[in-house]
């Protein structure tokens, strides 16, 4: 599992296996808020990492995709 956030706050949490991306969650950080936009593949595996990142960086989490609640 990995995370990439650029200098503008756009980023992705992802899992690659054997050179293929099997899961990702697209995010943006703005005003101490981690905004979750979209996810695909086995994105549920990334939720723990995303929440740990938010806690470590004192970020509020705001989701903008309906299925992330399920």
Within the chain, how many helices (H) and strands (E) appear? Answer: 1, 5
Distances (CA, A) of 52 to 18, 19, 20: 25, 25, 24
Q: pTM, whole model, 2 decimals?
A: 0.82
CA distance 24 to 45: 9
pLDDT digits (tens, 9 = 90+) for 11-47: 999 999 999 999 999 999 999 999 998 888 887 788 8
CA distance 6 to 19: 22
Classify residue 60 by its DSSP letter. Answer: E
């Amino acid at each position: 599992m990995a995370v990439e956030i650029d200098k503008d706050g756009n980023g992705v949490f992802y899992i690659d296996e054997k050179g293929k991306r099997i899961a990702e969650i697209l995010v943006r950080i703005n005003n101490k808020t981690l905004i979750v936009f979209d996810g695909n593949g086995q994105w549920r595996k990334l939720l723990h990492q995303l929440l740990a990142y938010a806690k470590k960086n004192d970020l509020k989490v705001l989701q903008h995709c309906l299925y992330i609640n399920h």
